[in-house]
Amino acid sequence: MNAISLEELQLAARNHGMPLEALSHPITPIGLHYLLIHYDIPHLSPGAWRLEVDGEVERPLTLSLDDLRARPSKTVAATMECAGNGRVGLLPHVDSQPWLHEAVGTGEWRGVPLREVLEQAGLRDSAQEVLFTGLDRGVEEEVEQNYQRSLPLAEALRDEVLLAYELNGSVLPPQHGYPLRLLVPGWYGMTSVKWLGRITVLDRPFEGFQMAKRYRLQRDEDDPGTPLTRMAPRALMIPPGVPEFHSRERYLERGGCKLRGRAWSGWAPIAGVDVSVDGGKTWAEAQARRDIDSPWAWCSWTYEWDAPPGRHELCCRARDEAGNEQPLDGEWNVGGYGNNAVHRVVVNVS
Ligand SMILES: Nc1nc2c(c(=O)[nH]1)N[C@H]1C(S)=C(S)[C@@H](COP(=O)(O)O)O[C@H]1N2
Ligand SMILES: [Mo]
């Protein structure tokens, strides 16, 4: 494993992951869902806050939180994962938020369908993309900026794309975007802009920092690369047994052990999950089951293992109905994105 710097530790202490034992919850409890915050969490007062909708629209809108809450709402259970999940597994080391596997969570998000707000504003024929501006501000590569991301119009108009003001039945917490965030189910988390202040309909693709410089798969610094969009398939395992405090290696007794975990893909439903109990030499199919009534949420899987004494490396691997499968090893790229190499857990059986 490669060493991380003090700067990376600083990021990791602010942006925590979901402890993998929390995979036992179908809906991740608030506080266990991972966090990724580029700058500071803005402190926004609900009375003064407004959402502006402008750009290529017939009728620009200014909406308060009460205006949004008064509209018909929709609830969507969706799994969200950071595009940098798995980054530390890539070599040479990529200097950024040092995720292992835990930058994921599933929320029950409630809000207003984005499409209905865009329809109220009236899209002009020139509309091509929708730009989302967060009210958080910071500096990256000497560029001072608000966090901004755009979506092609067709994606923005999908039924399940929400302007969310609730998570798991509670008011959206400050760290998850209070008072309002975008939710784009199926896509990596960077798309779901928090602390929304403005939605601007554009007549051309947005070329801002988080589109042009970040969240792209680049072979090297000169490669413009391709943008990250949907989540690649991934299965994770609840580490069985008990952990050793320092190394986090697992300890359990010989005999029947039910391995459990969850799997998701933003491209298509999960087609199957395979498990290896010998470090990836041989594989057998796990029982995968959709236990949340939402195509955007992860499914659960189980595998009956008769654990023999010794030290073993357990692995799990997901495939989806679009034919995507997790690789054994990740592919290095400049930003350290999209590494969905199989999850490996070392256990000591006595
Ligand atoms: N305004 C704003 N939105 C943001 C971010 C941010 O830093 N600022 N981080 C993005 C990234 S990279 C991810 S992975 C998700 C994380 O959402 P969560 O912290 O609610 O899990 O939020 C996205 N939306
Ligand atoms: Mo992210």
The Cβ of residue 20 has, within 10 Å, a number of other Cβ atoms equal to: 20
d(CA 92, CA 94): 7
Tell me the CA–centroid distance for residue 312 and ligand 1, in Å: 36
Contact (CB, 8 A) for 211 and 149: yes
3 state SS of 23? helix
Tell me the CA–centroid distance for residue 338 and ligand 1, in Å: 16
Nearest-CA neighbor of 39 among 134, 177, 137, 181?
137
147 lines ligand 1 (CB under 6 A): yes
Residue 334 burial by Cβ neighbours in a 10 Å radius (0-12, 13-18, 19+):
middle
**Atom of ligand 1 lying closest to residue 83 CA:** 14
Q: How do strand 51-55 and strand 196-202 relate by DSSP bridges?
A: parallel
Q: What is the DSSP letter of 224?
A: -
Tell me the CA–centroid distance for residue 243 and ligand 2, in Å: 28
Residue to probe by mutation, ligand 1, list 163, 170, 192, 209, most atoms within 8 Å of CB: 192
- Ligand found nearest the CA of 30: 1
Q: What is the pLDDT of residue 1?
A: 53
301 lines ligand 1 (CB under 6 A): no
3 state SS of 13? helix
β partners of residue 131: 150, 200
d(CA 185, CA 196): 17
190 lines ligand 1 (CB under 6 A): yes
d(CA 8, CA 146): 22
Q: What is the pLDDT of residue 3?
A: 84
State the DSSP string of 291-302: -SS-TTS-EEEE
343 lines ligand 1 (CB under 6 A): no
34 lines ligand 1 (CB under 6 A): yes
135 lines ligand 1 (CB under 6 A): no
pLDDT tens, N- to C-terminus, the chain (350 residues):
568 999 999 999 999 999 999 999 999 999 999 999 999 999 999 999 999 999 999 999 999 999 999 999 999 999 999 999 999 999 999 999 999 999 999 999 999 999 999 999 999 999 999 999 999 999 999 999 999 999 999 999 999 999 999 999 999 999 999 999 999 999 999 999 999 999 999 999 999 999 999 999 999 999 999 999 999 999 999 999 999 999 999 999 999 999 999 999 999 999 999 999 999 999 999 999 999 999 999 999 999 999 999 999 999 999 999 999 999 999 999 999 999 999 999 999 99
